[in-house]
Amino acid sequence: MPKKIIKRMMPDHQTIKENKYLKIFGNLLHNANLWHLNRHSVAKAFAVGLFFAFIPVPFQMVLAAGLAIIVHANLPLSIALVWITNPLTMPFIFYACYLVGTWILAVPEQDFAFQASWQWVLDSLSTIGPAFLVGCGVLAVIFSILGYFVIQAMWRYQTIKAWKSRPHR
């Protein structure tokens, strides 16, 4: 995996350290290992970020940061990957989660119209909620495992390719 490309896309260390939501981690953010770019830290970051991208909870970035600190994943990358589910992609991703959940639970799909209200969320927990939550959990695990192994393989491939392209002495 090209290290330079990832470095260019990553946010600044100081910006993350000064984020008001991440200040709860205090001195843990000063661990230099959380900022290194190597095959293992980047693969773990993909696993953490992709996992929390599929979990429908508020403060996904804080949860991803906490797990990244625990497993020594690259912190900025873990946080950035959570934004795969942004306001533009969230409806499509979460609808796919719902469909996967209905398939796993073998329940029929239900027609529903989204409403931006707390009451709608509470009412839908008993109707579409179980299928949606199961789908989110399953896809979170699948994509985090897949992301981890794909990054490991890509990084190894790029390293082998770079070594083979070196001039022989």
Predicted pLDDT at 9: 65
pLDDT at position 67 is 94
Model confidence at 163, pLDDT cuts 50, 70, 90, reads confident
Q: Is the pLDDT of residue 78 over 80?
A: yes
Residue 147's identity, in one-letter code, is G
Q: Please provide residue 84's backbone torsions phi and psi, each rounded to the nearest 5 degrees.
A: -60, -35
State residue 10's pLDDT score. Answer: 65
pLDDT in tens, 29-64: 667 677 778 888 999 999 999 999 999 888 888 899
Distance CA(53)–CA(154), nearest Å, equals 21
**In this model, does residue 19 exceed pLDDT 80?**
no
Longest dimension (CA), the chain: 71
Report whether pLDDT(164) > 60: yes
Question: What digits encode the pLDDT tens for the residues 84-143?
Answer: 998 898 889 988 999 999 999 998 888 877 666 677 767 777 788 888 899 999 999 999
> Which of 64, 6, 15 is CA-nearest to residue 39?
6
Cβ(61)–Cβ(82) below 8 Å = yes
